[in-house]
Amino acid sequence: MMRQSTALALLISLAAPLHAQAPPTPPPRTPTFGVEIEVINLTVSVTDSRSRYVTDLKNDDFAVFEDGIKQDLSIFRHEDIPISMVLVLDTSASMDEKLSQAQQAAVRFVKTLRPQDNAQVMQFNDRTTVLQEFTAEHAKLDEAIRRTEASGPTALHNALYVALKDLNKQKKAGELRRRAIVLLSDGEDTASLVNDEQVLELARKTEIAIYAISLRPSRVPERNRQQFSQAVHLLTALSRETGGQVFFPNSLSELDTVYDRIAEELRTQYSLGYVSSNSRRDGKWRRVVVRAPTREGLTIRHKIGYYAPRS
């Protein structure tokens, strides 16, 4: 049902009897921690020098540093982890002639979601509207995408702020999920109440990766407009800070390729976690760097830091 958004084991193994056939090894489960323990979760994407995703790294291949101090990994997962995603579509007036192709590409992208994944569909112009709440049903997501209509100005900042808020509400204690916002827009912000710094600050406080697809204007003078340059700067900063990516396709025909790239990345990421050796609860920003010292020539992307908890 359509609604308008208004605001912004630990494994216990039993010894088998002597001579008994060993049972199959169960998949690893995420260790559990007391509520007083703050686990820093990192979703990590790794590519080689040819931009191919690297999927054969092990726990010992990674080194994680916080403010320059090496941390001990307590979580390492690479098998399929459920995804929660908000699919955000720009439906401002400038998208009118592009919307049909954009809808087709988005529907195709939704088909890559697995039964354990879920997604929300959101459209925005001067208002941000949720067309489909979080669901794993492809048919409902498809129908919501096809109901998008183009009109009005562009409130890009508002849409990102609401999407971050909505997706962060889905987070459950102890649940390991990859969370991402996948945004498609063709222009600059012209109608938001929220500014770019507020969006960036909220993004830094979440564990949500932002993937932005920014359609370039066909005319070069429009690409050089200050407002469009500001939108490019924000989307680039958001993707860099959160470990996502930003794409600038030159035509709608490239949308399928871009969505395919995002889908592949979400399926091949590593999930790392650690308990910080810095026990101070001072609310300060902490810089995080992930390396793969055992392998050369790799590019590693992840959120670049987090705010420490505050007492």
Residuewise pLDDT in 10s, the chain (311 residues): 444 444 443 323 323 333 334 444 444 444 544 445 789 999 999 999 999 999 999 999 999 999 999 999 999 999 789 999 999 999 999 999 999 999 999 999 999 999 999 999 999 999 999 999 999 999 999 999 999 999 999 999 999 999 999 999 999 887 889 999 999 999 889 999 999 999 999 999 999 999 999 997 666 555 556 666 788 999 999 999 999 999 999 899 999 999 999 999 999 999 999 999 999 999 999 999 999 999 999 999 999 999 999 98
CA distance 172 to 109: 26
Residues in the chain: 311
Residue with tokens 């998208």: 95
> What three-state secondary structure class fits 161?
helix
pLDDT at 293: 96
Instruction: Work out whether the CA dihedral 118, 123, 126, 128 comes out positive or negative.
Output: negative
Architecture per CATH, domain 83-267, reads as 3-Layer(aba) Sandwich (3.40)
pLDDT at 176: 87
Q: Where are the domains of the chain?
A: 39-79+281-307, 83-267
CA distance 152 to 298: 43
DSSP 124: E
